[in-house]
Structure 1
Amino acid sequence: MKEIKEILKAYDLAVQHNEKTALATVVKVEGSSYRQPGARMLITENGALTGAISGGCLEGDALKKAQMVIFKQQSMLVTYDTTDDDDAKFGVGLGCNGIIHILIEPIVESRKNNPIQLLKVCTTNRSPKVLVTLFDLKNKRANQPGTLLLFQEKESIYNQTFNQVKTEVQTSILEACSTVFTNNKTLIQSIEQTNFTAFVENMQPSIRLNIIGAGNDVLPLVKLAKAMGWDIVIADGRSNLATSTRFSEAIEVLTGKADEVVGRLKVDRKTAVVLMSHNFNYDLGILKGLYPYKCPYIGVLGPKKKLLKLMDQLANQDIALQEKEENLIFGPMGLDIGAESPEEIALSILSEVKAVMAGNVGGHLRSKNGPIHNHPNGSVRS
């Protein structure tokens, strides 16, 4: 979501300067690629780039094609095939051994629910959403339908392009949206009896990081989390430390006793809570107040015996955690990377949070049997 937010800022700036823009989106990958479907880049007519669609190999060529799209005001599907050993002949030198399909769309400010406007809706709240991009692999130079529908629980938003496709195509798209919305997994699906392929994208909010504690060791954690585009909330009983000036990167700073603060904490399935107050009773109050747990990660700073003591205290207060609830609590928190300094500990903690959110266990990538990422169309990251 960080990349999308940066693209939205860049777009608003381009509008202020009266610059025309185009949006490039990776919509399908066959084989290996540095970026996966959903990677985006905004291009202005003057050549400014925001976001990335590769490790830097495709951007130059995509810029030229995007400027053509802006000039003609017609979308284009571009394919880079690097499965040939001599990929230098494409002028991009990817070395990824994959086929990357990129949709480039002109952004027309006056067009209702254009791709940028749909992306803006994705950032307005933390509710789950599904974004649909439709493209034609057999007629790549034809005007592509593009980003045409944002599916959400209460009301779906679509542009005029959606109304222009056949009813049976609309039905297939909406059925795919329901599947993705239910399963929380992105889908790339061919539309039967047509040349169209739908990139049905599971749009997840940024990770929210609720940090309990405002000591000096929290500072590098906040800076690193901010660099990754996470939403940060600070909470502490010490009002002299928990200030918006000290933590300008936070979207919210809460102060008060544990039982006061915990009621103001917002948690969902993309929220992590880390207990770093260095105050046992304060951490206990937060842990007690969060029960029943509705977030996938609660981290406890300190040795294992501290966590065991916290569990005992919860039991004494008639909160007996079941195995599934205990599995949500990580103490000591962090991946074992040999961290010593506050900055290294921050890296360890955030790495574990990211792994848990992604459903991974951490570890060395070289130890994996198979691709780094498993995607609906079998693509992998190089």
Structure 2
Amino acid sequence: MKELSDIVHAFDNAQKAGRQTALATVVHVEGSSYRRAGARMLVTEDGQLTGAISGGCLEGDALRKARLAMAQQKPMLVTYDTTDDDDAKLGVGLGCNGIIHILIEPIHPALPNNPITFFKQFLNARDPVVLITIFTLNDKQSAQPGTCALMNKDGQVTGVFPDSIIEEAVLADAKNVLKNGNSVTKTYLYDDRFTCFVELLQPAVSLIVVGAGNDAIPLTQMAAVLGWQVTVVDGRANYSVSDRFPLANKLLVAKPDNALSKLNIDNRTVFVLMTHNYNYDMAMLKQLLPLQLPYIGALGPKKRLNRMLDELREEGTDINKEQLKSIYGPAGLDIGSENAEEIALSIVAEIQAVLAKRNGLSLRYKQATHNRDEHIVQQSLNANTLS
């Protein structure tokens, strides 16, 4: 969620400077594109861009459209058809062979339910939310409602729908997305008037690095670049210090027995055990196993991890198959890593793959998919459930 954090920060700076802003959002993709639905970019009236909606080829034209939207003070839907040679003539030249729909919304700070307010509500808590954006795909000249509502983890809704006739159906879909915890974004088409982009926003990854050795430094640096929340835990007070880990959000000096009580752990929390202290790592692993975390990385050779697990079993710890699935040791993808920076890169990549439920293979072996991870679902206006 680093992109959203950057956008909020840029918006606040623009407000202080008295500059108008507009938000460009990829709301639907047909075919292939560089960014998927949910990619966003904040545009200021003086041309500053924060975030991205493409690989750099759409931004210039989107800036011109955003300035027009700010001048007219109304949202607009812009479509780039990269399957059409005319795009290349216009200077877009995406070469992605897809159709990208961009919603551009002027931000009205005085309105309580503007997109930035929703972003701040989401970023202020470590809970998943569903963001609802409504537009008219079949008639770009019609009014474009835009980012209109947010549903929190308890099902409470903030915002106003443009038409009560679709509210019940959209909220039923939003509850389903929230319940399933599915990070895949979906676009639902209701009649010919409204297209609804129902998007699950997940909190930033919380990375707990157990070990404050020199090899932990590049890992925390790379995680910080991604916008992850980083905590470093170590029993040595002279190692776990801000001078060594300036980008860490939290530094904790603790023994294994009381470390977890000082941490906030949820389903977006991952651990990497890298103290190089066998007993410390094993004591932490024993406490982590029952938590059913999505990822526990163990640095070092496989035989070291197996020895830990064997000793825990001998002590009477029951380790089931589900718990073993969460342990990745040796930690990291097989990319030929040798030094600390390369190992950090492999670990960060593995964590990202695990959380995204991907296999970590090279993209050259990936079969082409239509609309990437999106789905169009035709529904009647009185529909209450996903078809």
TM range (shorter): over 0.9
Q: Which residue matches 1:268?
A: 266
Matched, 1:296 2:286: no
SS of equivalent residue, structure 1 residue 87: helix
Q: Which residue matches 2:20?
A: 20
Letter in 1 for 2:236: R
Contact 1:335 1:348 in 2 (8 A): yes
Tell me: CA distance 1:98–1:374, structure 2 relative to 1, closer, same or farther (3 Å): closer
The one-character-per-residue Cα deviations of 1:186-236 (angstroms, maximum 9, x if unpaired) are 221011x34211000010111111000001001111111111111101000
Q: Which residue matches 1:376?
A: 374
Q: Which residue matches 2:166?
A: 169
Q: Which residue matches 2:112?
A: 112
Tell me: CA distance 1:135–1:373, structure 2 relative to 1, closer, same or farther (3 Å): closer
SS of equivalent residue, structure 2 residue 103: strand
Structure 2: where are the runs of 5+ without partners?
Answer: 377-387
Q: Which residue matches 1:183?
A: 180
Matched, 1:333 2:328: no
SS of equivalent residue, structure 2 residue 175: helix
Contact 1:79 1:101 in 2 (8 A): yes
% of aligned pairs identical?
Answer: 48
**Aligned residue among 222, 236, 244 for 1:246:** 244
SS of equivalent residue, structure 1 residue 291: helix
Contact 1:335 1:352 in 2 (8 A): yes
Letter in 2 for 1:168: I
Please tell me the root mean square deviation across aligned C-alpha atoms, in Å.
1.5
Q: By how many angstroms is 1:312 displaced?
A: 1.2
Question: What is the distance in 2 between the residues matched to 1:372 and 1:6?
Answer: 30
Contact 1:26 1:103 in 2 (8 A): yes
Matched, 1:42 2:39: no
The one-character-per-residue Cα deviations of 1:139-186 (angstroms, maximum 9, x if unpaired) are 2133311001101133534334x2xx3322111110110111122232
**Aligned residue among 345, 360, 363 for 2:361:** 363
Letter in 2 for 1:177: A
Q: Which residue matches 2:379?
A: none
Contact 2:289 2:323 in 1 (8 A): no
Tell me: CA distance 1:372–1:194, structure 2 relative to 1, closer, same or farther (3 Å): closer
Letter in 2 for 1:81: D
Contact 1:242 1:254 in 2 (8 A): yes
Q: Which piece of structure 1 moves more, 198-207 or 146-155?
A: 146-155
The one-character-per-residue Cα deviations of 1:217-269 (angstroms, maximum 9, x if unpaired) are 01111111111111101000001010133212111111111111122232222
Letter in 2 for 1:12: D
Structure 1: where are the runs of 5+ without partners?
Answer: none
Question: What is the distance in 1 between the residues matched to 2:300 and 2:370?
Answer: 32
Contact 1:131 1:147 in 2 (8 A): yes
Contact 1:212 1:276 in 2 (8 A): yes
Contact 1:180 1:187 in 2 (8 A): no
What is the TM-score normalised by the length of structure 1?
Answer: 0.95
Contact 2:80 2:87 in 1 (8 A): no
Letter in 2 for 1:188: T
Q: Which residue matches 2:316?
A: 318
SS of equivalent residue, structure 1 residue 199: strand
Contact 1:151 1:157 in 2 (8 A): yes
Contact 2:132 2:150 in 1 (8 A): yes
What is the TM-score normalised by the length of structure 2?
Answer: 0.93
Question: What is the distance in 2 between the residues matched to 1:373 and 1:207?
Answer: 26
Letter in 1 for 2:8: L
- Equivalences for 1:141-180 in 2 at 5 Å? 141-154=141-154, 156-160=156-160, 162=161, 165-180=162-177
Contact 2:81 2:100 in 1 (8 A): yes
Question: What is the distance in 2 between the residues matched to 1:156 and 1:66?
Answer: 32
Question: What is the distance in 2 between the residues matched to 1:187 and 1:24?
Answer: 18
